[in-house]
Each structure stands twice: as C-alpha cells, then as structure tokens.
C-alpha cells in the first residue's frame, strides 16, 4: 500500500501526471505536519524524563535540537528551527498546523507564518494564527513574500512595540558568512542593519555608475567590494595563506586530480595550480608549501610536516586538514573547535585518533546528557560514531586527501609505508 502511493504510471497522460505532482505535494505537507506532531511529543517526553531524573531547569532539553536534525538527516544547526517550528505549530498555532496538514501550506510557508509572531505573547500568536489560517481559502495563490508580509502586518497590528524591539535587537546578529557556489565561485553574505546594508550597496552602485570600461555593472561592484575590503585590486594575486591541499603530482601537472580549499571545498586542479602559480610569481604575494602524508590504502592524512613531534598547534592543524569540516554527520559547518571524542575528564587522550574537528554548536551538543562519541581507525580510515540519548548511532568518516587514486598495496607494504611516513614527519 505504501509503495502504491508513489507509483507513477509510464502511460499516464499529462493531466494525470500533473495530478500526481499535486497529490505528492499534498503528501509532503501532510508528512511535515505529522513530523511536527512527533517532534513536539518527543520534546514533551524528553522534558518529563529530565524532570524525573532531577536535571536542573537550565539544562533541560540540551542536545534535543541536534538529535532532531540528525533524525531528519539534516545539519545540526537546523535542529533548532525544526524543533521551534514543531513546538509552535502543535502548542500555539493549530490553524496553521491544520493548513499544513491539508496541503494548503508547504512546510516553508508554515515556517514563515510561525517566524513573524515569535516576539509576541502566546495570546497574540494564537490570534495571528486564527486570522491568517482560520479561513484557508484566502491563502490560495499566495507566494512566500505575500505570506510573510501578511503575517508581519498582523503582528505589527497586535503589538508593534514588540516587533520594533525585536528589530532593534536584531543588529546583534550581524555577521558575514561564506559558502561555495557553482563553477569555483563563492557566496560571501553579510547580514547587516538596514541602514548599513543599504549604504554599502549604494556605495558599490555609485562606483559602478561612474566607471566606464568593458566590465558589467555587477562585475564592477564585485571588484570594488574586493578592493575596499582587502586593500588590493581584485585582479592582483593574493597571498596563499589559506590551506589549499593538493597532490604533488597535481601541482607538477602530472595529473588533474581536484584539490581541496579550506572554507570552500573541492576546486579543479587548474584553478588550484593558478592560485599557487600567481602567488609564487608575484613579488607582493606569498606562498608556503607544507608536506602532508596520506595513508597508502585509505588516502586519508596520517601525518604532516612539523618541527616538533608533539605540538598542540601542529596537532590542531593536522585535525583541521584531516577532517576538513565538522565531523558530526550531515553537518558541513567550518571547524571551530578541536575536541576530545572521549573527554579529558574521562581519561580521553590528546591524540589524532581521539580528537575531532567540530563546529562550536556540535561541540557543546555532544557534552549534553546522554551523548557519547567514539572513534576508531581501520585501514587508515578515521571513523567517528555519535550515539544520541535515544540510542541511535550516526557515523562519519574523514575524507581522503586530494590526489590520484590509491593503488592497491599489500598489508606489509601498507604498514611499512605508514611507519616511514610517521618517522619522516616526526
């Protein structure tokens, strides 16, 4: 019966296929509503168990958001949003939940409705819920912007002071983030107060409007941003003071295996060679090479060049290059902490095997009640297992270093190679 819900008839007409798409969209919404009910009930049971166990009120619920995210195979950073949405829908906004369950709203549009009145009292949130979704026919044809604008308008009508207070406090959330974009590009995003954001854009737009060359307006604004932030023209080579990892054979041009760039990810060999080449030929730029050693079978990093045999900064660099991003499953946040899998207060050693690269949020989560993390190594592969308070275990494996494929070696060759690498790196 379950499989028949998702069967698609190859001989179906276009009208039937359109109906299938609509039906499946309604199923997605209904599943999201059921998921919200399960999540809210999970939160209730967890809190009851913690109360019975005598957990202090300030520590109750720690780690649950990350656990919810792992169960949804999502980044732990998204867990708070999932948990907050479920709690608000089930406990405070039944009309919005019903609209989601019936397929009138998607999960994202339900999120937009829940987000706007978050600063209001529970009574006002319930009022907004009834006004927005009490009659779902009025939502027909509304897009994301219309949904958000209407929810914000009602929130302002109910308590404009609370909305203004939230806006004034939002400036503390200002930040700059970076994430990969297609074709070896990046999105650098700044979250700024409206006055500053508008002034930054206006300054870049003014530069574009008064510059006349073969570049487009967007290209001029991007180049102007780079020059104003870095103090050097966008076309000038940059110092390679970032961790760009590539095989020596790739650097020499003997193969085209991709490289890996810290805070970005995989980059084509030609781009990586260009970064190195520009930095080494330009007198104003600098480049430094450091040897890394990969396991002869797994391809994972096993050692790096260092003047000291045991040195905290060297070990931290090793962990960062080995793990590349946070080792919590599904989390691709940058590494901010190097932390012990088995905590030091439980006699966990400070070693490459027991240490993990994790983001700040995941580091704090794994210290919550009921969480355990273990590590292991086999055939040169560093593995980590994260076990949650409900007994589920999620695993991650450190990625291999860039470079050509690893040739098959005998067990004796492999052991000898690892011993020689470790000796040389020491």
Residues 6 or more apart whose Cβ sits within 8 Å of residue 273: 246, 250, 251, 253
**Distance from C-alpha of 409 to C-alpha of 271, rounded to nearest angstrom:** 31
42 in Cβ contact with 79 (< 8 Å): no
**Distance from C-alpha of 324 to C-alpha of 243, rounded to nearest angstrom:** 10
Domain spans of the chain, in order of start: 3-170, 175-230, 244-287, 301-425
Mean pLDDT in the chain? 84
The pLDDT assigned to 318 comes to 80
The pLDDT assigned to 291 comes to 63
pLDDT in tens, 303-318: 665 443 333 566 777 8
Q: At what angle do helices 122-133 and 107-115 cross, to 10 degrees?
A: 140
Query: What's this model's pTM, rounded to 2 decimal places?
Result: 0.73
297 in Cβ contact with 380 (< 8 Å): yes
In the predicted structure, residue 283 carries a pLDDT above the cut 70: no
pLDDT in tens, 56-101: 998 899 999 999 999 999 999 899 999 999 999 999 999 999 999 9
User: Could you tell me the two tokens for 52?
Assistant: 């019975």
29 in Cβ contact with 101 (< 8 Å): yes
Helix, strand, or coil here: 361? helix
The pLDDT assigned to 188 comes to 92
User: Could you tell me the two tokens for 139?
Assistant: 């939502």
In the predicted structure, residue 137 carries a pLDDT above the cut 90: yes
pLDDT in tens, 211-237: 999 999 999 999 999 999 988 887 776
Q: What percent of the chain has pLDDT over 70?
A: 84
Percent of the chain that is helix, strand, coil (3-state, to 5): 50, 15, 35
Q: How many CA atoms lie within 13 A of 46 on its CB side?
A: 23
**Distance from C-alpha of 110 to C-alpha of 39, rounded to nearest angstrom:** 16
């Amino acid at each position: 019966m379950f499989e028949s819900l998702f069967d698609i008839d190859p001989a179906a007409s276009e009208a039937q296929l359109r109906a299938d798409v609509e039906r499946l969209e309604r199923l997605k919404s209904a599943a999201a509503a059921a998921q919200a009910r399960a999540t809210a009930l999970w939160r209730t049971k967890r809190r009851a168990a913690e109360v019975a166990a005598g957990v202090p009120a300030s520590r109750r619920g720690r780690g649950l958001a990350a656990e919810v995210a792992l169960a949804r195979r999502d980044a732990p950073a998204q867990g708070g949003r999932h948990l907050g949405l479920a709690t608000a829908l089930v406990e405070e906004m039944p009309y919005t939940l019903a609209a989601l369950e019936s397929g009138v709203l998607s999960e994202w549009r339900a999120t937009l409705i829940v987000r706007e009145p978050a600063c209001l009292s529970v009574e006002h949130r319930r009022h907004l819920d009834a006004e927005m979704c009490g009659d779902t026919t009025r939502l027909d044809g509304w897009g994301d912007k219309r949904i958000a604008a209407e929810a914000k308008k009602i929130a302002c009508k109910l308590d404009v002071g609370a909305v203004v207070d939230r806006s004034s406090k939002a400036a503390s959330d200002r930040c700059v983030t970076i994430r990969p974009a297609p074709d070896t590009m990046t999105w650098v995003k700044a979250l700024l107060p409206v006055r500053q954001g508008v002034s930054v854009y206006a300054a870049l737009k003014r530069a574009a409007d008064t510059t006349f060359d073969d570049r487009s307006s967007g290209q001029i604004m991007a180049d102007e941003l780079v020059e104003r932030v870095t103090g050097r023209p966008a076309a000038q080579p940059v110092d390679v003071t970032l961790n760009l990892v590539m095989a020596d054979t790739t650097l020499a041009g003997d193969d085209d295996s991709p490289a890996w760039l810290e805070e970005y990810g995989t980059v084509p060999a030609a781009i990586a060679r260009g970064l190195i080449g520009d930095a080494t030929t330009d007198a104003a730029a600098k480049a430094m090479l450091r040897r890394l050693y990969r396991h002869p079978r797994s391809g994972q990093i096993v050692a790096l060049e260092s003047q000291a045999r045991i040195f905290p900064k060297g070990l931290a660099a090793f962990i960062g290059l080995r793990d590349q991003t946070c080792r919590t499953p599904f989390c691709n946040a940058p590494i901010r902490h190097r932390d012990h899998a088995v905590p030091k207060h439980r006699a966990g050693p400070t070693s490459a095997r027991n240490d993990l690269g994790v983001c700040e949020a995941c580091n704090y989560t794994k210290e919550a009640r009921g969480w355990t993390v273990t590590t292991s190594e086999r055939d040169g592969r560093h593995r980590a297992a994260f076990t949650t308070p409900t007994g589920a275990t999620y695993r991650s494996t450190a990625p291999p270093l860039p470079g050509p494929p690893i040739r098959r070696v005998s067990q004796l060759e492999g052991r000898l190679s690892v011993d020689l690498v470790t000796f040389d790196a020491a």
